[in-house]
Structure 1
Amino acid sequence: MIRALIVDDERLVRHSLRMILNAAPDIEVVGEGGDGHEAVALAGELHPDVVLLDIRMPRADGLTATARLTHLPRPPAVLVLTTFDLDEYVHQALRVGARGFLLKDTPPHDLIAAVRTLHQGEALLAPSVTKRLLERFATAAARDTTAAARRLEILSERERAVLIAIGRGMSNAEAGESLGMREATVKAHVSRILGKLHLTNRVQAAILAHDAGWV
């Protein structure tokens, strides 16, 4: 059973998310919180597998909460909830360890699938949404492309190809099909990439690929 924690300052949003997730046979909502402080406190007490976290909340916002959640002894996977046109902190939240994000109007079946995806250790990098967000911030931000590219020099040719696929929002299976590799081989490359670059998850790897101008 996947243990989920919902954190949003709007009671109606929390109620809707709870109803959607509890309808799934393999997901249990173990708690709700209304701000970033409660997110960290409840996560430490309830040990959820996945935290669905609003980005804009009182007392401590989603960015602060994400950084604290990822440093817990048993860190949960953080799924940021956002309204695409307003949240300027999502890019930073992904940098500090959030494993993905969804729009608040995501269809129920996609929300359930996202929770399952994060629980399996994957990141949510759907090309239709995440890639647009990454490109928006990559274009708007003043970035040191040379420094980012220099970090990536340590990668082998095959690892670079896999990183580009990650940056384009591909799953392991899609990357394998595109590159002529087995899915297990892609997964192994992803693990080595994260280790070499000292990154937490593939979302951060995708951001670095964007920062280096590879995608």
Structure 2
Amino acid sequence: AELTETERNTVETREAMARMYNRQAVRTETAGDWEGALKAHRAALELHPDFLDVEAPGPQDDGAEVRLQRLVDLMAKVPTDHPDSGLAALLSAAAGFTLVRITRSRRSEAEDLGQTEVRPKLESATTGPFPAPAHKLMAEFAFYELKDDELALNHAEAALKVTKDYVGALWIKAVTLSEGKLRPDLAVECYRQMLEITPNNSSVLLNLGDLY
């Protein structure tokens, strides 16, 4: 029997569907099927921007870096005039930024890659079909790579303006407020909003407890 509209809109159902789409994304990426990968990622993102997943490795991958680089290479094959070229730019930027963070120990290499390749892609993706995750990623890039708290907060707010229950955007906003701006009092409100969206979230509760 098909699910009712109410059943389809439950958090549990959406999370299960997102896991299915993200598994499809990994399979199609591994097969070199960029069209299938775009279709799977689009389906997950249309459920909610929190379901963007470019990092979880496939069963045959030797770590996240393998999948991330494969996704960057695969998205480079998408024609610029393709209807999903904006989504391809977002996925490439997301994977590229995650690679930068993984290679942060090789500082100069990560900085060069971030400024020359990742930042332009992220900025471009903010005007694409999925602006919320693009702004969230740009907020993370601004905070962790550029050390620019104001830019990070601006992009976090832009993401939340599109999707107000975006836990990922609330998280980077809270981190920026507490660690960058040294305003834990303002960060507390972000964590409280996250708990309203995901009650009993252990990571949120832990961070909230650290602020008291």
Settle same-fold status: TM greater than 0.5. no
Higher relative contact order (CA 8 A, sep 6+): 1
TM-score by length of structure 2 reads 0.28
Going by fraction, where is helix more abundant, 1 or 2? 2
TM-score by length of structure 1 reads 0.28
Going by fraction, where is strand more abundant, 1 or 2? 1
